[in-house]
Structure 1
Amino acid sequence: MTAYVFPGQGAQFSGMGKNLYESSESARQMFEKANEILGFDITKVMFEGTDEELKQTNVTQPAIFLHSVILASTIEDFKPDMVAGHSLGEFSALVTAGALSFEDGLKLVSQRANAMQRACEINPSTMAAILNLADNVVEDICAGIDGVVVAANYNCPGQLVISGTVEAVTEACEQLKAAGAKRALILPVGGAFHSPLMEPAREELAAAIESTTFSTPSCPIYQNVNAQPSTDVATIKANLIAQLTGPVRWTQSVQNMVADGATKFVECGPGKVLQGLVKKIAPEAETAGV
């Protein structure tokens, strides 16, 4: 069985999607539609923007979504057996599986980006990558720290990202290094994604998701918050809302997809990050890009 997986924030690069725009009429129409929906020329930033411009949350998230979804639309006989997306990538996965329209997906991603940006401005916060330490050790140390710091991204065995206030994350990094972490590296991000500090964004996005029409997807989507397959619309919506303040259980999602029959993982979108993570989680699985 083939699983299609969709990347999240961090995979952006200048020039992304330009070849699609130039080689496919249907892709060009989707890009033009996106400029219209967003109210600014996102294609110009994607094709010609600097790294700094592409790093702005209100650009990054829609740009990665657009690259992923439009790329999927150009695949002949696109019939995934299952899909999953890393954080923001969950929206790309839902659109390609037919649970959300392209237009509604893009509007939600844009609202999500802006809501997250506002939440970041309320609380100075950050994230850090912890390498070569067991998940339960990281969880226990975070639980013992005074302040908000939680496990946010279970990327692959030995790679976990924590998220919280600047003080709590800094303190956790010191303790995690003392406990044997190979590295505890503060990440260049705007805030504490996938932590309780995203609560204002979760509330804002919840209202938008509840008022958006979802359909039953054409295949199961393995969602970030519980790593379980979903096809039920009410469950998908609830998990999508919980995702902003909950962790990305990528390791567990890939393990469950393999257990359910996935033998090949195709990454659809910019970069190769997910292919690398899949290889570390399930070395026996075949990986490919589009």
Structure 2
Amino acid sequence: MNAYLFPGQGAQHPGMGKDLYDNHEQARQLFEQANSILGFSITDMMFNGTEEDLKQTRVTQPAIFLHSVILAKVLGNDFQPKMVAGHSLGEFSALVAAGALSFEDGLRLVAARANAMQKACELQPSTMAAVLGLDDFTVEDICQRISDVVVPANYNCPGQLVISGTITGVDAACEKLKEAGAKRALKLNVGGAFHSPLMEAARAELEHAIVHTKINAPVCPVYQNIDAKPYTDPEQIKHNLIAQLTGPVRWTQTIMHMLQDGATSFTEVGPGNVLQGLVKKVDRTAVTASATAAA
């Protein structure tokens, strides 16, 4: 059984999606529709922007979402998902690809999410750090002992966790984690403390938008970040989507659950191949691939 995976922030690159725009009429129409919905030329940013342009949260999130979702649509009958999951932002792409959200509603939510997160980042200086070479329990235990806000944010694969919190909290945790034997505890170049309690203002803002958006039953189970379990009930999907901004991305557990539920291969839909690498670290025998659309 093939599982489809959708990447999150960090997978962007200059020129992303231009091949889809140039070679597929359906893609061209969807990209132009996105420009109209967003009120600025996201295609110009994606196709001609610099890496710095693409790092802006208001650009990054819709850009990755559009690349992923439009690629899934262009695949046509070749895209027959039996299970899907997305990493952080990628969860919105997965929900659109699986028919739970319309293209337009998905894009509006992603734009609202990006703006809400940007505002939350500006409220309090905060950051994230990648921790390599320690088990989950040790990282969790050290984070709990720090007096400032710092929490595990992304369980990416065994031995790779990302922590998130105030700058002082993350700095203090990094020192303790290195003392505990971490190979690396490296601060990331991000705008703020995603997937932490510091995103509460963004969660509250996005909750209103999600509550008022129609979510349908998806064509297949969607494995959601908050607890790594599969969902098809629209109300549960909404609830989990609201909790996502302040809760951790349980990616390791998501891949393990998909394997247990019969996944035999994983196809990454969108820019980059980061998720394929993470899958291989969960199970080195797993079959992985990138989705490609015929020209």
TM-score tier, shorter chain, comes to over 0.9
Percent of paired sites with the same residue: 69
SS of aligned partner of 2:141: helix
Matched, 1:76 2:81: no
Q: What displacement does 1:284 show?
A: 2.1
2:18 equivalent in structure 1:
18
1:276 equivalent in structure 2:
277
1:252 equivalent in structure 2:
253
Q: Cα RMSD over matched residues? A: 0.4
Aligned partner of 2:205: which letter?
Answer: E
Structure-2 separation of matches of 1:188 and 1:126: 8
Kindly tell me the number of residue pairs found equivalent between the two proteins. Answer: 290
Q: What displacement does 1:285 show?
A: 1.5
CA-to-aligned-CA distance 1:141-173 (integer Å, 9 cap, x gap): 000000100000000000000000000000000
Relative to the length of structure 2, the TM-score reads: 0.98
1:232 equivalent in structure 2:
233
SS of aligned partner of 1:234: helix
2:130 equivalent in structure 1:
129
Relative to the length of structure 1, the TM-score reads: 1.00
CA-to-aligned-CA distance 1:190-237 (integer Å, 9 cap, x gap): 000000000000000000000000100000000000000000001000
Structure 2: unaligned runs, 5 residues or longer = none
Structure-1 separation of matches of 2:10 and 2:62: 12
1:146 equivalent in structure 2:
147
CA-to-aligned-CA distance 1:72-116 (integer Å, 9 cap, x gap): 011132111100000000000000000000000000000000000
Aligned partner of 2:39: which letter?
Answer: G
2:40 equivalent in structure 1:
40
Structure-1 separation of matches of 2:97 and 2:130: 30
Aligned partner of 1:8: which letter?
Answer: G
Q: What displacement does 1:242 show?
A: 0.2
SS of aligned partner of 1:147: coil
Stretch deviating more after TM superposition (275-284 or 31-40): 275-284
Matched, 1:7 2:41: no
Aligned partner of 1:122: which letter?
Answer: L
1:97 equivalent in structure 2:
98
2:185 equivalent in structure 1:
184
SS of aligned partner of 1:270: coil
